Amino acid sequence: MASPHWITGFMRRYGLSLRRRTNLTTLSDDKLVDRAVSYMTFLQSAKPTIDLHRTILMDETAVYFEDARNQTVDIIGSRHVVVRSTGFLSMRITAVLAVTATGKKLLPLLIWKGKALPSFDKIGGVYVAHQPRAWVDSKLLKRWIDLAFPLVDTGEGKYLVWDSMRAHISKEVKAKCAARNVSMCVITGGLTPYLQAGDIGIYKTFKDLLYMEINTWKESDKELSVDGQEGVA
């Protein structure tokens, strides 16, 4: 096995370094500042009507069973960096994570690939749903909104903070929010790495911890059933 000293020397000789995967849709500085100022201005105007206990930050994130890292070895100074992955990268579920502005975590929703059902199941402290592509669509979101904001809650100041993903801003979801008296704070495209609290402080930690769990499971002889019961392969 090569030593760290040998690897460092090898990379230096061939002009290699650890690089983070690039985002080809990065906004220019001017557009980024304009959008950020516009969004923060909107938030300032909405603050008097916001109830922090009824304000929910929500986002969905794919959880892959073969977790590709965001770093790879590439030529120093490369403009675009691509991280290659194995065929197992397509094996995934979607995790919907949400937290109120006061820091209260809502129960996660895990979405598996399969025929959509009219309701969510509750298994081991999380909600479970099925969707043909294991992703979030408008129908699923409308059910989640009723889960996050119980029907008995008719108070004012309910807000949803999320990004501009297509299902979030669909006509059906907008109509659902209007019917439930839930206002939407939509973080415009390109701003989520800077203004979406989930991207900044939640999802990376979540995926790093889950990555260790998945690796431990893959390296063991344990089999885990859907309800979390443990067996031996």
Is residue 170 domain-resident?
A: yes
89 pLDDT tier (thresholds 50, 70, 90): low
- Does 117 score more than 50 pLDDT? yes
State the Cα–Cα distance between residues 147 and 151, nearest whole angstrom.
8
pLDDT at 155: 87
The pair phi, psi for residue 95, each rounded to 5°, is -110, 125
> Taking the complete model, does pTM exceed 0.85, yes or no?
no
- For the domain that residue 101 is a member of, what is the CATH number? 3.30.420
Question: 15-24, 138-147, 192-201: lowest mean pLDDT where?
Answer: 15-24
Q: What angle do CA 204, 123, 99 make, to 5 degrees?
A: 40
Q: Is residue 212 part of a domain?
A: yes
**pLDDT at residue 200 is higher than 80:** no
The pLDDT, as a whole number, for residue 230 is 60
Q: Looking at the 3D structure of the chain, how many domains does it have? A: 1
Residue 161's contacts (CB-CB under 8 Å, 6 or more residues apart) are 55, 56, 57, 58, 101, 185, 187
Between 27 and 106, the higher pLDDT residue: 106
Residue 48, pLDDT score = 92
| Residue 232 within a domain | no
Please give the average per-residue pLDDT across 198-205, as a whole number: 76
pLDDT in tens, 165-189: 999 999 999 999 999 999 999 988 8
Q: Is residue 233 part of a domain?
A: no
Domain hosting 38: range is 4-219
Domain assignment present for residue 130? The answer is yes
Running DSSP on this structure, what letter comes out for residue 204? H
Between residues 104 and 225, which one has the greater pLDDT? 104
CB 160 within 8 A of CB 184: yes
Is residue 225 included in any domain, yes or no?
Answer: no
Is there a domain that residue 231 lies in? no
Looking at the domain assignment, is residue 90 inside a domain? yes
d(CA 58, CA 198): 8
Task: Report pLDDT for 188.
Answer: 83
